[in-house]
Structure 1
Amino acid sequence: MELPHSLTSPTSPCVDLKSLDNLQLCDREGTRSADSGIGELDELPVPQQIRISNITCDSFKISWDMESRGRDRITHYFIDLNKKENKNSNKFKHKDVPTKLVAKAVPLPMTVRGHWFLSPRTEYTVAVQTAAKQPDGDYAVSQWSEIIEFCTADYSTVHLNQLLEKAEAIAGRMLPFTVFYRNQQKEYFHQARDAQCNRMLPSVKDNSGSHGSPISGKLEGIFFSCNTEFNTGKPPQDSPYGPYRFQVRAEVLFNQNTNIYFGDFYCMYTAYHYVILVLAPEGSSGDSFCKGRLPALDRSGNRFLTCAEAEDGSLSFRHAQDVILEVIYTEPVDLSLGTVAQISGHQLMSLSTVNAKKDPSCKVCNISVGR
């Protein structure tokens, strides 16, 4: 496929790009290009009933119906692919590249693939023209088809395994730890005690991290930390999430009945890198969600978070030194299983990862399909 720079978009001039947020299906008269070198050929059929299938995070198949009249004259397809307007979308270097694709007229459905202009979990609009290349090199074109919408998919396990390999490369040596902890404001724990039967309840994960991660906005869980200070071997006294800390013995959440999954690897324009892991009790709803979606890790032999059993049945735990682990536990946790106390450190809000956007230019934590 090549990218001609002078083709007229089907959304111009009769559709304001800002109105595409509310566009579901636009049945409208197509416009022929008035650009130099683009002519009209009434005999060329207009694509109808556009169909998108086999959608992945960086590819899709497209097909359509056409009248038989003039079909034998078609030499090329023009595909106008645009990201839907979204003021909150991640910024990345190819965001504003016009993606007017020119493809030779191959049998349908045709696969459109390209990580540099397709991002995971992103809404796009697409319209199609048929074209006939003339002896002088110019094109004659049909009217544009209707405009339709589709959304690319999450990362597949293949892509997540690529992220996993990158994360393993920088995880560093393993350090011992004994507790998981969760920092929040005092009101959070009052709410758990008074309105939630003394339990912390799972909530839907926010959109922090990799844009294509299948857990964002879908997996329900409770975030915990386990990183320790190198010099003390204990949890740090500073936190970005609140001055009150729930602390629980590691074996309560992570034991021989707990499955562990890799969820994400990202950074936020800093030198720190984060790894998201999911702890799901065997057979739980969270475990069912993760199976087939996330790479499963060996409980006692991975590079990030391990639980090893000694001959006497006791458990020991280690965490990776050189990444910040964010651990999602998928089930409710009763406050009586641990303790709540005020920490003596500061709230370092700049370290918060709530809805944090991944740095799309980082070569350490990005893969070929984008953010």
Structure 2
Amino acid sequence: MTEMDAPLATPCNIQICDVTCDSFRIMWDMTPEDSGRSTHFFIDLSRKESRDPNRFKHRDVPTKLVAKAVPLPMAVRGHWFLSPRTEYCVAVQTAVRQPDGDYLVSEWSQVVEFCTGDYAMDHLQQLLDKAKGSAGRLLKFSVFYRNQHPEYFDYVSKECGGLMRPALKDISGSHGSPINGKLQGVFFSCSTEFDTGLPPKDSPYGPLRFQIPAGNLLNPNISLYFADFYCMYTAYHYVVLVLAPVGSEGDTFCRTRLPILDLASNPFLTYTAPQRPGEEPLFCHASDVILEVLFTDPVPLDQGSVEQIRGHHQLMSLTTANAKKDPSCKVCNISVGR
């Protein structure tokens, strides 16, 4: 048996490093002999939840990625459309391509599991650039509001000392948004009707509405961040913004993870300071997207008012709890996964 025909050792000690939302680097231990003669690596990658990992059916007929042997660690990107924050399983074989074109291959390594990361700042900047094109003209508004059922406000009054406390953001929207399942806040809306300039009469979230003057949540002591842009198989799009008091825990979380927006000059939500003594600040919101505004600190009920709203309260198609983003939409998707 020649050296080229000698069996290849099974790759061991698989290590994954430098994981991003759409790439990773992989390395493993090989004997010096195998390292010197390996010509190719076979990489088998599958989502963790898959019940059929679809390993190579034949040892010498690769059906997934075949990469030329390179010094390890090897970067893996672009070969698959990796999704952010998704658990994967990966295994490897080393191989020697023989003169007749067949491969001498090792046994499969053990299967290693890892999870891809959130969108990085440059990915969010791509998403922000797309969102800017859908924002539309700015409309004036004067209040932020939150629609809920009576049970919610009873609970806040009796059990929470009158404070609407931050809750963990769900996983709706873009899978890679860094705030999903990680940042706590209280959601508010600020959209107005074109004909009245007032909040809409209808709500999918409940018949009671808490309204608070816009300046209580949007002012020079607040940092404004862009967090997401998505749709749910519909013509309209959502933009998620974060309002965090400067220096707060929420502000610290967002500072290194989300693009910060200029309060006075951005296409989504603006605060313009009074120009003359006695004037009021001017607040504006984007007209062609649905804004979801997450305020990261508790909000006292006594800063606003709770009132019954007119209209219907079962527009469930507009609710977004844990909703999946449309992966086929060309308007709100970027190239690094869904």
1:255-270 correspondence to structure 2 within 5 Å:
255-270=219-234
1:360 correspondence with 2:324: no
3-state SS of the aligned residue for 2:125? helix
Distance 1:47 1:116 in 2: 22
1:60/1:111 contact within 8 Å kept: yes
1:76-91 correspondence to structure 2 within 5 Å:
76-85=40-49
1:369 correspondence with 2:336: yes
CA gap of 1:128–1:57, structure 2 versus 1, over 3 A, is: same
Q: Of the candidates 27, 30, 43, which is equivalent to residue 7 of structure 2? A: 43
Q: Of the candidates 130, 141, 155, which is equivalent to residue 177 of structure 1? A: 141
In structure 1, the partner of 2:308 is: 342
Deviation at 1:190, TM superposition (A): 0.2
Task: Kindly provide the CA deviation profile for residues 244-299 of structure 1, in whole angstroms up to 9, marking residues without a partner as x.
Answer: 11000000011010010000000000001000000000011100110010000000
1:58/1:115 contact within 8 Å kept: no
Deviation at 1:151, TM superposition (A): 0.3
Deviation at 1:67, TM superposition (A): 1.6
- Unaligned residue ranges in structure 2 (runs of 5+): 52-61
Distance 2:93 2:28 in 1: 11
Q: Of the candidates 152, 155, 180, which is equivalent to residue 216 of structure 1? A: 180
Distance 2:181 2:73 in 1: 31
2:97/2:104 contact within 8 Å kept: yes
In structure 1, the partner of 2:290 is: 324
2:65/2:79 contact within 8 Å kept: no
Distance 2:129 2:142 in 1: 26
2:203/2:312 contact within 8 Å kept: yes
3-state SS of the aligned residue for 1:190? helix
In structure 2, the partner of 1:188 is: 152
Deviation at 1:115, TM superposition (A): 7.3
Q: Of the candidates 96, 99, 102, which is equivalent to residue 135 of structure 1? A: 99
Distance 2:229 2:247 in 1: 25
Instruction: Give percent identity, aligned residues only.
Output: 64
2:48/2:88 contact within 8 Å kept: yes
1:43/1:70 contact within 8 Å kept: no
1:105-120 correspondence to structure 2 within 5 Å:
105-114=69-78, 116-120=80-84
Moved over 3 A (4+): none
CA gap of 1:77–1:266, structure 2 versus 1, over 3 A, is: same
CA gap of 1:144–1:86, structure 2 versus 1, over 3 A, is: closer
1:216-295 correspondence to structure 2 within 5 Å:
216-295=180-259
CA gap of 1:145–1:115, structure 2 versus 1, over 3 A, is: closer
TM-score by length of 1: 0.84
Distance 1:150 1:305 in 2: 38
Deviation at 1:45, TM superposition (A): 2.4
TM-score by length of 2: 0.93
Deviation at 1:72, TM superposition (A): 2.4
Letter in 2 for 1:324: I
Higher alpha-carbon deviation: 77-86 or 230-239? 77-86
Distance 1:173 1:199 in 2: 34
Distance 2:185 2:130 in 1: 25
Distance 1:211 1:114 in 2: 18
In structure 2, the partner of 1:308 is: 272
Distance 1:99 1:188 in 2: 54
Q: Of the candidates 153, 161, 178, which is equivalent to residue 117 of structure 2? A: 153
Distance 2:6 2:208 in 1: 72
Instruction: Report the RMSD for the aligned CA atoms in angstroms.
Output: 1.5
Distance 1:232 1:170 in 2: 23
CA gap of 1:251–1:86, structure 2 versus 1, over 3 A, is: farther
Distance 2:45 2:209 in 1: 48
Distance 2:128 2:50 in 1: 29
Distance 2:100 2:303 in 1: 79
- Total equivalences in the alignment: 322
Distance 1:99 1:204 in 2: 42
Letter in 2 for 1:349: M
